[in-house]
Every structure is written in C-alpha cells, then in structure tokens.
Structure 1
Amino acid sequence: MMQRKKILEKILHFMAKNVLAKYHPFVIGVTGSVGKSSTKEAIELVVSKIFSVRKAEGNYNNEIGIALTILGEKSGGTSLLAWLLIVLRWCFLMLFRRQYPEALVLEMGIDRPKDMDYFLSFIPVDIGVVTQISSSHLEFFGTLGNIAKEKGKMIQSLPESGFAILNFDDKYVIRMQEKTKAKVLTYGFGEGAMFHIDNLLFQRDVKRIEGLSFKLNYAGKTIPMRLPRVVAKHHIGAVLGATAVGTALKMNLVEIAEALENFEPLPGRMRLLSGKNMMTLLDDTYNASPSSTLSALETVKDLMAPRKVFIFGDMLELGAESRELHTALGEYIIASGIQIVVLVGVYAHFLYEELLTLGFPGRQLHWFPDVSMTEERIDEIVREEDLILIKGSRGMRMEKITERLLGDKENTSDVLCCQSPSWKERPFREPEEWQAFKNDEK
C-alpha cells in the first residue's frame, strides 16, 4: 500500500511540475503550524478580485493534495479508472493550450522533516506566507526551532522579486526575514508590525454575537474593517496576512477590506453556529494544538454570555511533552471565565487533575474516556443560552459533540468538518499513542 502511494506521488509530482512549467501561474504559498487554511481562504477572497484563482480545497495540503490542486483534479480514491482519467486530462492540458488559473494559493502542510524540500522541488513560490510556529507535529521534529527551520525553507527559496509575508508576533516566524532575498511585509497585533489593528470591538445584538470590527493601520493609513462572521481574534491574523498579500499585488486597502468582509471561518475552525435551546456554539473541532487552544480560550474570555462551557478532547501528536502541555492549560481555562469544563481522553485526565489542584469546582468539572460516552451525557451538562467552545484533535472526533448540540436549522454537511461518508461511518478508534503512553506509565 505504501509503495503504491509513493509511486502515485512520483507520477503526480511529474505531472504537476510540467503543468507549472507550461502555464507559469503566480504562486502564493501558505505554511505554518496553525492558521494555514483560514489564511488561504482569506487570500483567495482578496486575490480573486484581480486574478483568476485556484486554491487548495479542503485538506489538500500534502504531497498528493497539492499536486491535485495544481492539476485541478479531485482524488481518484481507490478507482484505477478515475486515476487514468486524471492522466488523460493532464495529457490534453499539456498538448493543447487550455484555460488555466493566473494564480494558485497553495497550503503547504509540513508534518515531517524534508516535507518542504519536496514541495519546493517542483513549486516556484512567488509570495510566501508563514502564519505561526507551534507544537503541532513536535514528535517528528523534536523542537520548535526545527519546525521553524523546515517551514522557513519556503521563505529562503523566494526570489528577489518575491514577497515574504511574516507574522510579526511569532519570534520563530519573524526571524525568517533574516534569511530571504525577497521583500518582507509583516503583520500582527504588535505595533511594530507593518499591518496592525486597533479599536477592536465585538459586534452583537441582544441575543447573538455578530462579528468583529476594527481599524487597520498600514504605512500611515487607517481604514475601518468589519468581519460579520468572525469572533476569534486569531482569525484577524488570517485577514491581516491576506491584506499584506493584496498590498504586495498593488491592490488598494479599500478594495481589500471590501473583499474580506465576506470572510468566513472554515468548518471546525472557530466557526460560530446556532445551537439548540438558544445555545451559541464555537466549533473548533478540526484540530487542536497548544497555541490554537490558547487562542480559542482567549476568544471565550472576551465574549459575554450567561454561562461559558468548554468541551475539550485530547491534543494528539505532541510527543513526550503531551502531559505537560495539557496540564499547562489549567490556569488559562480558569482565567477565561469558563464555568463548566468537559474533558475527553487520556491526556485530558491530567488536565482534569490539574484543574482540581488549582481549585476549580469539582461539581463543574467532568471527564469522559472517549467521545461516545461524552455524547451520552452531554445533554445533562449543558443548558439553555450557554456559550459552548468545542475543541480537540481530529482523531478525537469532537465534531460529533457539535453535531449533537446543533440547532435544527443548521445543515451539518455545510457547517461541520469531517463530514465525508467514509469518515462519519468510521468508528472511533483509540489513538495508537494512547496505548504507547499507557505502557510507558506502567
């Protein structure tokens, strides 16, 4: 099976490389530990104002997914015929001059060492955007510095005519400006960033949160921006990154702001949803890392609600630091003003114990070993008008909790992550690292 996948990767690599060489699209690459997909979506909104654009769909951010994006194809899955048709369409693309996007927005997911080398071996990036460096996939890199080094290769590869768009607030990311020939634009919340904001306000009516507004500052200019579908401050980073890309392409700020007013978080990325019984759901179930969890808690801290609930599943793939990184969340949960905490998973039990140690009321704290048991009990725990943050690594299947709490008017296939039939039908399986961890604890 692995051998066939490698052969497929090589074939797609060859096909994608030749398409890029023939059509020469403008390439915008996005990488980082968190925020890649949201930034990609925001960039596409902006760049589509001046170019015909193709972006990576869904989670097409790996070796096969990026090649398919370049080819404009969907996966052939297990069908040999489907893959043969992809090859046939590629032949037509190469033999005849056909319509091809002027710009590509590619999300480069880096899970292991040398992943970026693979992408750069056939993708010439013109604008590189780096969002943030965090502990995701730490078990494969060992240190945050190693993660930054791998992702930073994209910035090093940029030509002098290119642009490096860097998160000013991340010390690992901003250091990348020292190793590029390209022009550098920075964004962030710190005033030293070229693109930064002030006057951040949450918009709401009596019953419902209605997004964010703020003033954008760049090069002595200030313009108002409104994001009616956004409540998480870290999504502002995606918007600022996209604004920097638009500016690099000589778009004016008003045009960029108008495009970004339509920005909406992807399913499972701090998506604001209506729950049953007038509950407000913040669905952040696509994945979880320490930094993205802290960002989500910071958002909840800033929001007003009769009662705040946090439903949290394990963060996976954190290696030897898993226990420490989970327990470290305790003080942030307390500081966020959350009144009810529901924890799910092996590592989450350490957080459960830490919260008790910190004085969090035991009657307001719940722990379950897996998502199935949580589903059975969650209706007893939540109540009318709660603000509920739901988060966890993808392998924890926390989207099942969001689905249970959704209001009738929400269509799950449109608003939730991980809704493919094959994924939904797959039963929950204990992550392999749980067993390894249990063995180490004995």
Structure 2
Amino acid sequence: MVTVSKKREEKLAELVREFFAAHPEVRLVAVTGSAGKASAKIAIGTVLSRQFDIQLRTDEPKTKADVLLQMIGIRMPEKGLFKWWKVIRAVKKRIKAENPDIQIIVQEFNPKEPGYNLWFKDYMMPDITVVTSVTNGRMQVEHSLEEVANEMISLANYSRMAMINRDDIDGRFASFLTNPNITTYGSDPVAEYNFDDRNFSLTDGHHGFIVSPENPDGLEVDVKLIGEHNVRPAVVAAAVGYALGESEENIKKGVESLRPLPGRMNLLKGADNTWLIDDSYSSTPLTALAALQSLYRIETPQRIAVLGNMNGLKGIFEQAHAELGANCNPDLLDWVVTVGDKANQYLAPAARQKGCQIKECKNAIEAGSFVRDKLKSEGIALFKGSSGGVWLEESIKINLHSTEDDKYLVRQTPEWIARKNQFFSQFKD
C-alpha cells in the first residue's frame, strides 16, 4: 500500500493527467463496485490482451496513490531516502516517451468513502467505466446503500461510456445515472449484453452464447467458471472488447481462456474423490447467496455448505447472517457448517429453523476436520467466508486431494501463515 501526503497525491494526479494529455491514444477502462471488481478487471484484461497491449495490476489498490501508480505502471520502492523522487522521475519518463508501450489501461477503483471516485474527475476521463455491483460491503459499514450507489455510479457519470451490471445493481439506482451513453450487462436477457446459458457441467463450466447488439444471434463460447455470477465478468469483458473494436475471434479466445481466481469459486479436487469449491477470499451477503445458489444448481449426491462470518457489516450483521441462514435449503444441503461467532449466533439458528442439519465450529480448523469426516465420494463442499478471524482456506487445506494444491489457496505467504497461526493458537487446549 502506497501512503503519501495529500500534496504529493495531488502532484501525482497532475502528472497522470499530463500522461493522458501527452498520449490521448491510450484508453482507460475503469472498474468499480461493491463486489466483483477483481473478477471483472481480470476478465477484461484477459480478453483485451488477445489483441491489445494492456496495463493491469492484479493487486487491489488501497489508496488513491495506489490507483495512480498502478495506472501509470510504476511501483513505489519499498525502501530508500529518495524513493518519492525516483517515482516522480519514472512517471515523467513515461509522459515524455514518444510511444507508450500500452494501448489500454484496465484500472480498479476501490472507494472506501463518498467522494473517492469523484476526486479523480479533475485528472482523467475513463473511456469506459464498468460498475459491477451495489451492495452491502465495506463502504456500507458507515454509509447508506443509496450513498454507496451514488459513489459507484459517480465514476460512470464522468466517463465516455458506462457499463452497468443489471443483475447486481437495484433498478431504483438508475436515477443516479446522468451519463447518456450507457449499456447494461448480466445474466438477465433484458441486459443488452447477456449470456444464453445452454449447458453446465462441474468440470467444464458453462456452454452458451454471449448475446450482444453486435451479434444478436450470440457468440458461442465455453466459459470454464462456476456460477451464474461468475459468468457476468466474462460477459462484460466481451462487451468491453466489442466497444474497443476487438475482433470477435479474439473475444472468443479470451473468454474461453478465463479461469477462476484463487479463493473465488475455484474448483479443487478433494480427498477421497470429492470436490471442493473455494470461495474463501471474502464474503458479502450478495456473493454468499450467489455462491450458495450456484452450489444448489450442481448435480451431486451430497452438498455441504461451510459458511463463515461476513465481516464489515456494522449495524446489519445480525440481519445479514440470519437472511443467509434462511436461504439454506435442507432438501439441497446435507450439512450447514458455520464458522465464527456471528455465523454461529445468527446464521446457524436461521438455517436450523429451516430444517437444516447444523454443525457450529469455533474456527476453520475444526470446520475442515468435520468436513473431512462427513464429505462422501463425489460430494461437494462449498467454503465461503470473510478473511479476518475466519480464513476458510485453512478448512480447505485439510480436505485437499494433494498437499501440492496449497498453491491454489489464498493468503499462503509466510506473513499470512504467521498471522493465522497466531490467531488459531488461542483455540489450542
């Protein structure tokens, strides 16, 4: 995370403005929203890279300075007395370059408070802004859903073109849009860019057609992702490709090369001929419900849902966990395994009231051991929870077919492992 003074932040922003003025041929695709930004960003970058030279950083920007440096393709040195001077020199070099080595920048905007996205208005104008969702999440901790919607949509309003997720943004927020050049994408066939899903299998994903104004009959594709909500990033990636003049052949190749990100509905082989769906990166009411519904649609002799705390829901955590529990279907789930105080206190009773078989666990290690004991051959276990104090990737680790598959899990650096070990040590006898 890059943290600089407000004065230096503004200086950096002015230099980024100079970059776009010096290189008007470079296009900017902005991605914002409450959830789903990373998946959309990576999907867009993957599809566009089939035809264009792109600038994209996979890590999440934490500050405005992060956004600006990611956009320009410069990394802040970790050490050194003159690191700020080196950054400025590197940025100026990019500005003065006769021919930039990029054609398109794909950039995530990650607002934490109202006014964040609007701050960038004086320094750049995105060619396309993708708004992935408006939902309860980190911003909603201190602000109303209407304020969250206004914040996300503000970036779309000062872009040349906006693409709005029709499925994950409530229709009542359409009044916040002032940009006349908008289009919609999603699973809903009413969206201008949508996916006509013809077939699904656990190992091969979705087979169907991306329907668009450019191709009303649909572009036939195989999307090797699990869940309707994970097909939407593929759809918007195709939409951006069409808008920027990418060939349909390259759009198809790009979409068919998409694979799940670690911790985001990633299918892993479990022990004893079982399957694990790793959705452990984070959890919000929207994404947790989508993951649960995706699990229901999979044909399998056994389903176990491991559901952890959803963090960052100040003021609505009781309601949010109870509503998720109420969506647990005893006819489709053998077990609901809850992890963490909020999930145990609010989600578990609601699921139990629906008739589900419940196992409440203090931590991810206990949950993983329970699943290892209960999951049968060809059965599927879904793991969905937040990071801090939950870390369901450690439940998955216990159930993997091979220890070598640890590399596919999130938060496995030595620093993360040390942090988690310290947390789990409090539960030892």
- TM-score surpassing 0.5? yes
Q: Tell me which moved more, 365-374 or 336-345.
A: 365-374
Given that 1:116 and 1:154 are in contact with CA atoms closer than 8 Å, whether structure 2 keeps it comes out as yes
Given that 1:28 and 1:128 are in contact with CA atoms closer than 8 Å, whether structure 2 keeps it comes out as yes
Residue equivalent to 2:427: none
Give the alignment partner of residue 343 of structure 2, picking from 345, 348, 363: 348
Task: Report the Cα distance in structure 2 between the residues aligned to 1:2 and 1:179, rounded to whole angstroms.
Answer: 32
Asked if residue 315 in structure 1 is aligned to residue 310 in structure 2, the reply is yes
Residue equivalent to 2:20: 20
Given that 1:155 and 1:176 are in contact with CA atoms closer than 8 Å, whether structure 2 keeps it comes out as no
Task: Report the Cα distance in structure 2 between the residues aligned to 1:399 and 1:411, rounded to whole angstroms.
Answer: 12
Q: Tell me which moved more, 185-194 or 327-336.
A: 327-336
Residue equivalent to 1:108: 109
Q: Tell me which moved more, 339-348 or 373-382.
A: 373-382
Unaligned runs of 5+ in 1: 431-442
Q: Structure 1: which amino acid aligns with 2:201?
A: Q
Question: SS at the partner of 1:417?
Answer: coil
Task: Report the Cα distance in structure 1 between the residues aligned to 2:284 and 2:332, rounded to whole angstroms.
Answer: 21
Asked if residue 165 in structure 1 is aligned to residue 159 in structure 2, the reply is no
Residue equivalent to 1:438: none
Residue equivalent to 1:412: 406
Sort the Cα spacing of 1:389 and 1:127 in 2 relative to 1 into closer, same or farther, 3 A.
same
Give the alignment partner of residue 305 of structure 1, picking from 295, 300, 309: 300
Residue equivalent to 1:214: 208
Sort the Cα spacing of 1:186 and 1:138 in 2 relative to 1 into closer, same or farther, 3 A.
same
Task: Report the Cα distance in structure 1 between the residues aligned to 2:331 and 2:130, rounded to whole angstroms.
Answer: 30
Given that 1:397 and 1:428 are in contact with CA atoms closer than 8 Å, whether structure 2 keeps it comes out as no
Residue equivalent to 2:146: 145
Sort the Cα spacing of 1:409 and 1:7 in 2 relative to 1 into closer, same or farther, 3 A.
farther
Given that 2:327 and 2:351 are in contact with CA atoms closer than 8 Å, whether structure 1 keeps it comes out as no
Given that 2:149 and 2:173 are in contact with CA atoms closer than 8 Å, whether structure 1 keeps it comes out as no
Residue equivalent to 2:181: 183
Give the alignment partner of residue 194 of structure 1, picking from 170, 173, 192: 192
Task: Report the Cα distance in structure 1 between the residues aligned to 2:299 and 2:405, rounded to whole angstroms.
Answer: 26
Task: Report the Cα distance in structure 2 between the residues aligned to 1:37 and 1:61, rounded to whole angstroms.
Answer: 13
Given that 2:302 and 2:333 are in contact with CA atoms closer than 8 Å, whether structure 1 keeps it comes out as yes
Given that 1:300 and 1:336 are in contact with CA atoms closer than 8 Å, whether structure 2 keeps it comes out as no
Question: SS at the partner of 1:169?
Answer: coil
Task: Report the Cα distance in structure 2 between the residues aligned to 1:131 and 1:46, rounded to whole angstroms.
Answer: 17
Sort the Cα spacing of 1:96 and 1:53 in 2 relative to 1 into closer, same or farther, 3 A.
closer
- CA RMSD in angstroms comes to 2.8
CA shift, 1:87, in A, is 3.9
CA shift, 1:313, in A, is 1.2
Q: Structure 2: which amino acid aligns with 1:245?
A: V
Given that 1:141 and 1:147 are in contact with CA atoms closer than 8 Å, whether structure 2 keeps it comes out as no
Task: Report the Cα distance in structure 2 between the residues aligned to 1:42 and 1:178, rounded to whole angstroms.
Answer: 27
Given that 1:226 and 1:261 are in contact with CA atoms closer than 8 Å, whether structure 2 keeps it comes out as yes
Question: SS at the partner of 2:420?
Answer: coil
Given that 1:164 and 1:183 are in contact with CA atoms closer than 8 Å, whether structure 2 keeps it comes out as yes
Large movers: runs of 4+ above 6 Å = none
Give the alignment partner of residue 427 of structure 1, picking from 390, 395, 420: 420
Q: Tell me which moved more, 291-300 or 162-171.
A: 162-171
Asked if residue 135 in structure 1 is aligned to residue 101 in structure 2, the reply is no
Aligned residues: 418
Question: Taking every aligned residue pair, what percent have the same amino acid on both sides?
Answer: 24
- Structure-to-structure mapping, 1:39-58, within 5 angstroms: 39-58=40-59
CA shift, 1:335, in A, is 6.2
Asked if residue 267 in structure 1 is aligned to residue 262 in structure 2, the reply is yes
What is the TM-score with the length of structure 1 in the denominator?
0.85
Unaligned runs of 5+ in 2: 424-429
- Deviations 1:243-267 (CA, angstroms, capped at 9, x unpaired): 1111212334443122210011211
Residue equivalent to 2:237: 242
CA shift, 1:111, in A, is 2.0
Given that 1:195 and 1:218 are in contact with CA atoms closer than 8 Å, whether structure 2 keeps it comes out as yes
Q: Structure 2: which amino acid aligns with 1:348?
A: A
